[in-house]
Amino acid sequence: MDTSFKKDDNCESGGDNKTIMTTNTNLNDNMSLCAACGKSGDDLRECTACRLVKYCNRDCQISHRSKHKKLCKQRAAELSAGDNSTVDTLSVCANCGKGEADESNKLKSCDACKMVKYCSRECQIAHRPLHKKECKKRAAELHEEALFKLPPPPDDCDICMLPLSPRTTANTYYSCCGKIMCKGCDFAYHIRDSDPKSDTKCPYCRRPTFGGSLESISERFEERMKAGDANAYHEFGRNLWTGRYVTQDRFKAMKLWHQAGEMGCTAAYHDICDAYFRGEGGVERDMKKCRYYCELAAMGGYVKARMDLGLLEINAGSVDRAVKHLLIAAGCGSSQSLDIIKQLYSRGEATRDEYTKALRVFQSYLPEIRSKQRDEAAEFHESCKYY
């Protein structure tokens, strides 16, 4: 996504309420919810009979009595008989008060907030008016936790086993074997080695890089996609998008990118984000969807998407959030993110401590990805630079 470092009136702030959550974060054990209205707090009082649920006031307890009565009596009888085993207060349907009797009656958590459970879809719908406000609040908190959580480590080069560069141009995908290699290993095999025929073979599997026809290239991608290779879906989608080796078909490219993203290729989500940013590929310009897919890519560890989120926040006037994103990107080896923080610092929009921290995390990351071969490749050609 080619976002400029300036104010853009078309950029919108805020996230998408439908953002897919990729975290299993639950509430702390001491978090309580009123069984009637769904409000949270530490000052709620337990039902004195069963100790299963809590209420914020007497009125809530009375209004919930008709739904809670049966389970309350059952649990109260167990307590009076000497069964003092603890019961998880979240293992009760928030609407009707039913508990988890066995595996066949297992309750399901609210997908958005993870705060309450329901025994059926009907109970969830009936409880929605009471739960909606707290649900949105907690879902937003969970989203923020997931968004600013440190991303997973990058994949390693399949030859030198060093982490791959955040710059995608510094890495090469081979459709013959589905391996991704850094340009350092690529350079060492194709340029430095003495074999005059080496430039026609894959450095990993030694199969010919190109099969001699455009049909054979498409067949290789098809073969890799049948094997469940998410990167093959992504790369073939890029070929369809640009018309390289195949007839241009951007609609199909978008479809393949969605499949690749669902299979774990976060770079595919960034390409979808770029399509919505530009309004290309059969879709209209949509900044909410652009942000949505950019967040998915960033949370999955795609560093360019993390930097783009920082630029979107700057354009929206949220410099504090932008710096958070850029610090994460700098810590993952993004020199461009470091430069942006430097510009913000020179303009007085970022603090000295933030710029110092960005320098420190960037410099501590470099030794992890540096190698002699990668330096040689970077000196040989601009496209091989890896930081």
Burial class (CB in 10 A: 0-12, 13-18, 19+), 150: exposed
Task: Tell me the per-residue pLDDT of 87-133, one tens digit each, with 9 for 90 and over.
Answer: 444 577 888 877 765 555 688 888 888 888 888 889 889 888 888 88
Predicted pLDDT of residue 23 = 33
Q: Tokens for 360, please give them.
A: 């420190």
| CA–CA distance, 379 with 162 (Å, rounded to integer) | 19
Q: Say which residue the tokens 């879709």 belong to.
A: 283
Please indicate whether residue 329 or residue 190 has the higher confidence score (pLDDT): 329
Q: If you average pLDDT over residues 207-215, what whole number do you get?
A: 65
15: pLDDT confidence band, cut at 50, 70 and 90? very low
What's the predicted TM-score (pTM) here? 0.72
* pLDDT at position 31 over 90: no
Q: What is the CA radius of gyration of the chain?
A: 27
Residues 386, 165 contacting (CB under 8 angstroms): yes
Q: What are the pLDDT digits (tens) for 125-163?
A: 988 888 888 888 888 898 899 999 988 888 899 999 999
Q: How many CB atoms lie within 10 A of CB 26?
A: 12
How far, in Å, CA of 164 to CA of 94, rounded?
47
**Is residue 199 predicted with pLDDT exceeding 80?**
no
Residue pair 281/251 in contact (Cβ under 8 Å)? The answer is yes
Residue with tokens 């993004």: 334
Instruction: Name the residue with tokens 């496209």.
Output: 383
Q: What are phi and psi of 33, to 5 degrees?
A: -130, 140
Q: How many CA atoms within 13 Å lie on the side-chain side of 168?
A: 15
315 band by pLDDT with thresholds 50, 70 and 90: very high
The answer to whether 261 and 226 are in contact (CB under 8 A) is no
Domain-wise residue ranges, the chain: 45-147
Average of per-residue pLDDT values in the chain: 81
Residue matched to tokens 């003092």: 84
322: left (phi over 0), alpha (psi -120 to 50) or beta: alpha
Whole-angstrom distance, CA of residue 283 vs CA of residue 296 = 19
Taking a C-beta distance cutoff of 8 angstroms, is the pair 362, 175 a contact? no
